[in-house]
Amino acid sequence: MAGPPLEPSPLPFREIQALLLSTRDVDDFLQDLAGLAAQAVPGLPLACGVTMRLASRTLTVASSDARAERLDESQYQARSGPCLQALSTGQAVRCDDVEHEERWPDYTRHARGEGLRSSLSLPLVATGSTSGALNLYAFDRTAMAEDPEVRGRLELLATQASDSLRFVTRQLEDTALISQLEQALSSRSVIDQAIGILIGRHHLSAADAFDLLRRRSQTSQTKLRAVAADLVEEASGHPATPGRTFRSNQD
């Protein structure tokens, strides 16, 4: 039976969007997300764990408290449970009443010992496929899974979390690309300095000087930038100076 109408509240949806403006770290984002999810339903305290599949491992990457982490871990140990089912099927998995739940017997035995009443595991889709699950646990009453309004709010939360996780992942990919561009431009500057030294020392063309530098790199099995840096330091008596670094339009 549905409980009383939910109080209107912008939490945590507006705050999830705010996280996008303040985090550049997936770990921090997921930990903040777990904390916000635990407050998603006014008047109904929840525990939240975030399960992610990383390579061949499944693990809890963030949790609102120790109970959520223990409940997640017990499913990994039992190799069954609602969060693993949500992760494998890409579908929301409800457990309306743990006391009478017949699925996942090894897990529910542990869950009863933790005092769990009901749970809802929601898939997180970050890279085109289900890569995680948002696991919400209630200890006071079973309405979390039964009440359509509560369920709708939590499902919306998972959808927004997925969108936000995609954005953060893409943002970090862009950050990695910027870092690679900075490294590439820095290396290019040092290589250009070495080419100039070889041109002056051996009266070579720029193409021949680069070819000589490349052959030294291959012969010594040393990265081209390191060979160039050694040559610059040998000629000048000072370490090679990187050129200007790349800056995005946002910097």
- Convert the pLDDT of each residue in 135-189 to its tens digit: 999 998 665 656 777 777 777 777 777 776 666 556 555 555 456 546 655 677 7
- Numbered ranges of CATH 3.30.450.40 in the chain: 13-173
For residues 6 and 96, which has the higher predicted lDDT (pLDDT)?
96
Q: For residue 86, what are its two tokens? A: 């949500």
Q: Are 62 and 34 in contact (CB under 8 A)?
A: yes
pLDDT exceeds cutoff 60 at 70: yes
CATH number assigned to the domain covering 13-173: 3.30.450.40
CA distance 106 to 222: 55
Which part of the chain has CATH 1.10.10.10? 176-236
Q: What is the pLDDT of residue 211?
A: 82
User: Is 176-236 in CATH node 1.10.10.10?
Assistant: yes
Using alpha carbons, select from 53, 61, 60, 59 the residue that is nearest to residue 27: 61
Q: How confident is the model at residue 16 (pLDDT cuts 50, 70, 90)?
A: low
* CA atoms of 182 and 243, how far apart (whole Å): 9
At how many degrees (to 10) do helices 13-22 and 26-37 cross? 160
Cα angle 15, 16, 22 (rounded to 5 degrees) comes to: 85
pLDDT for the residue 249: 40
Answer for the pair 192, 45: CB distance below 8 angstroms, yes or no: no
Strands (E), the chain: 46-54, 57-63, 93-95, 118-125, 130-138
DSSP-assigned letter for residue 135: E
Q: How far apart are CA 238 and CA 196, in angstroms?
A: 16
Q: Cis peptide leading into 123, omega within 30 of 0? A: no
Neighbour order of strands in the sheet with 46-54? 57-63, 46-54, 130-138, 118-125, 93-95
- Retrieve residue 114's tokens: 């933790």
Q: Could you tell me if 6 and 154 are in contact, meaning their C-beta atoms sit under 8 angstroms apart? A: no
Least confident of 108-117, 150-159, 197-206: 150-159
Residue written as token pair 């995005």 = 248
In the DSSP assignment, the letter for residue 91 is S
